[in-house]
Structure 1
Amino acid sequence: MYIRFHGNYSSPKTEEPYGIFVVIYHLQRDGKLSESDNRTYFETKEWFEQHLPNPPYYEDNSAIKAVIWFKDNPKTRVMINKLEPLITIAAKYETELTRTVAVDPPGIVVYEDDYQIAVIKS
């Protein structure tokens, strides 16, 4: 099973809804977060940067139009719990987040590690 947390507006690059990290980044970028929420956003983001592998195509600015989904396993359940501060921020600022679940990969898998897959439309 695969899990994705996303907003209700889409990326022009992927034509898929933006993921939770970008949705909260948009609030931060637009100056909507309180000082405390801003700090929480950066602390949570830093934790994920230290613990979640970064797909290689992120680093080479590839034109690939992939979307990331968490795998449902014991390792990722810890990570999904670590998303709670971002989910709380979204609710506080009345920003819609959706938790979508897929039994099978929701596209063609172009990257995979222990925690996540990246898929493109099939």
Structure 2
Amino acid sequence: MQYVRFRATTVNRRGIRPGVFALVNGLARDGRLSPVDRRFWRSANDWFAARVIDPASVDPGIFIAHPLSVSWFDAGAEDLLDRIPGYLRILDRHGIGWERRVTRDPGVVVYSDPDQVLATPRE
């Protein structure tokens, strides 16, 4: 099985490369999205929230127990992956570097469902 992650090209203060959702959510939080991009962001985030399980809804302490964990899409989750380019275009417009990573080993898996895994990096 393969996994896909879209992430920043640089690490943040926590030593991880934030994913595409965190990056665009940060732009929205900072009021940096155009009205068109803001509508896309809100609509797309709502679409994902209705279709993808939030690991914290299954295990409320998962991000406290695994603060360096990151999410990876199952490479077969095409309906989800097809929605990512809109987020990437927003990052491009803001000059935020991103990369697409594909792996068979996302790290130590601490949560999984049919569409994604949450994993911590291997030491």
| TM-score interval for Structure 1 and Structure 2 normalised by the shorter chain | 0.7 to 0.9
Post-superposition offset of 1:10: 2.8
52-61 or 36-45, which deviates more: 52-61
Distance across 1 between alignment mates of 2:70 and 2:29? 21
Q: CA deviation at 1:9?
A: 3.3
Name the counterpart of 1:4: 5
Paired position in structure 2 for 1:31: 31
Q: Tell me the equivalent position of 2:96.
A: 95
Question: Structure 2 matches for 1:1-122, cutoff 5 A?
Answer: 1-13=2-14, 15-56=15-56, 60-61=60-61, 62-63=63-64, 64-65=66-67, 66-73=69-76, 76-102=77-103, 104-122=104-122
- Secondary structure, counterpart of 1:106 in structure 2: coil
Specify every segment of 5 or more residues in structure 1 that has no aligned partner in the other structure, as ranges.
Answer: none
Instruction: State the distance in 1 between where 2:40 and 2:102 align.
Output: 26
CA distance in 2: counterparts of 1:48 and 1:88, whole angstroms = 17
TM-score, length-scaled by structure 2 = 0.86
Instruction: Judge which range, 107-116 or 54-63, deviates more.
Output: 54-63
**What TM-score, normalized to structure 1?**
0.87
- RMSD, matched Cα: 1.8
Question: Percent identity between the aligned chains?
Answer: 25
What secondary structure does 1:101 align onto? strand
Moved over 4 A (4+): none
Q: What SS does the corresponding residue of 2:101 show, helix, strand or coil?
A: strand
The residue type paired with residue 60 of structure 1 is: P
CA distance in 2 between partners of 1:82 and 1:57 (Å): 22
Aligned equivalents of 1:121, 1:57: Cα separation in 2: 22
Aligned length: 118
